[in-house]
């Protein structure tokens, strides 16, 4: 996972450099690089959520299971 994060960071840095160089030449290329950066970030986040879902979802359900009795005591039901 750490390697993937490093690779995504390097790709985004390269796209930022290309975007800054494209700003001086034309307007359309800058938008293209901005969209590419956004796609890389969203794809990376989706990949991390998909691979860590087996750890993330059970932990959230466990928090809900533990937190419900405390919540009902606070509400006074």
Per-residue pLDDT tens for 12-61? 888 888 777 776 666 556 678 788 888 888 888 877 777 766 667 777 78
* C-alpha to C-alpha distances, 44 to 4, 36, 48, 56, 61, nearest whole angstrom: 8, 12, 6, 16, 24
Output 57 or 6, whichever has higher pLDDT. Answer: 6
How far apart (Å, rounded) are the C-alpha atoms in residues 29 and 23?
7
Closest CA to 6 of 44, 34, 39, 56: 44
User: Interior CA angle at 6 toward 1 and 25, to 5°?
Assistant: 140
Contacts of 62 (CB under 8 A, 6+ apart): none
Output 57 or 3, whichever has higher pLDDT. Answer: 3
How far apart (Å, rounded) are the C-alpha atoms in residues 16 and 36?
10
Domain residue ranges of the chain, discontinuous segments joined by +: 2-75
């Amino acid at each position: 996972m750490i390697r993937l994060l490093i690779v995504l960071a390097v790709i985004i840095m390269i796209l930022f450099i290309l975007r800054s160089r494209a700003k001086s030449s034309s307007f359309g290329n800058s938008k293209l690089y901005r969209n590419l950066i956004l796609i890389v970030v969203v794809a990376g986040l989706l990949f991390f959520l998909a691979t860590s879902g087996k750890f993330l979802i059970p932990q959230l359900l466990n928090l809900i299971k533990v937190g419900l009795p405390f919540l009902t005591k606070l509400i006074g039901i």
